[in-house]
Structure formats: structure tokens, C-alpha cells
Amino acid sequence: MNWNKLKQQLESFLSPVLAGRVEYRASGYRYSPDKSVQCYIVVDKKEVFNMKDDTTMIRWYQTEQEIKNDTSLELMVTSDDIERVRKESGDKIPDERISVIAKNRKIAQYSKELINAQTQLCKTDFQKAASVFLSEPIERSLESDDILLNVLALVDRRVGKKRLLAMEEEMHMKHPVVRYFYDLRRRA
């Protein structure tokens, strides 16, 4: 499906209070194959959702360090995680050190998942997510772990005030961009 048709379909599903305020845009160069086409979401003529960044590895390391230093975040290390480290090391590491290694691996995995969710939003990724959104029930998009599906569902006209109010508790665990669009929709 070409970009203009996809954009029209997505904008036809926008909530009436957000129509004209929220826009889907793509930037890129048709004749320059080395430049990737970026998609982004604009609210009130201000770019809000574009995760293109060339410093992904630096941000991953910073995110990992922030998670390690955050005392309020509890990542549970299971006995399976500890056993996996024990098997990989050949049972040569002391028990107290194995749990530290398992926790550090869990933190690294969690930070990579966060960065993966925030990485480059290119046109093909946007088109895939938009196709899924347009073909599946709205409930699946709301419950999905995909940030873009959550955003598309939150600005959708099929999500009413009652459903928005019922989602308030689970929005605390979502990505900041998802929370931004949730707040935008509630205020509108």
C-alpha cells in the first residue's frame, strides 16, 4: 500500500477531537537509496514521535547504567536465570557471584529491550505496524507491547472516554511516548 493511501486510512480513524492536530508524515529522498525514509507523528505542528538516532549503542549503555543505579526498580532474578549462568560457566563461579552475574544479564536484557522499542522508526516498520493496526481489532493494539500500535490505538476514534479512564492504571507501565498520547487524548 502506498504512503498516501495508508496515511488517509490512519487519519480517517483519528478521534474527532484530534483530527487536524495529529498528523502522520514521512520524510526521505526518493532517488537516494542510502538515505532511509523516516516516518514520524506530529502533534500541533510539532514533531513528537521520531526515534531516529545514530547513538543507539551509547544510549543502550546509558540506559543500562540508569537501570543499575535505580534503586526503585526491581528486576526479579529467577532460579532458572541463576542455573543458566551456572551451566554456562561450567560451575566454576561462586554462588554469590552467580546471582550478581544473573542480575547484570537481566539488566542488560531489559535495557536492550527498551532501546529496541525506541530505535529507528523507518517507513517499512511504520507501514507494517499500521497494516497490523488496520487489520486487527483495536483491543489487540491497545494490549500490544509495540509502542506504535499503542499510539495508533490511543488516538483512534473507537477508543472512548470510559475505556481511556479504565486504562489509567496500566499506562504507568507504558513507554513515555505512549503516556504522552494517552494524556493528549484525555485532555482533548
End-to-end CA distance of the chain: 31
Question: Tell me, what DSSP letter sits at residue 156?
Answer: B
**Angle value at C-alpha 47, between 116 and 138, nearest 5 degrees:** 60
Give pLDDT, residue 55. Answer: 45
Structural domain boundaries in the chain? 3-52+120-187, 56-118
pLDDT in tens, 23-60: 988 776 555 555 556 777 889 988 887 755 444 455 55
Average pLDDT over residues 80-93: 87
Average pLDDT over residues 8-14: 91
Instruction: Give the pTM.
Output: 0.64
Dist CA 92 CA 86 (whole Å) = 8
What lies within 8 Å, CB to CB, of 89 at 6+ separation is 98, 101
The helix/strand/coil state of 83 is helix
pLDDT in tens, 124-180: 677 888 889 999 999 999 988 788 889 999 999 999 989 999 998 888 777 778 888
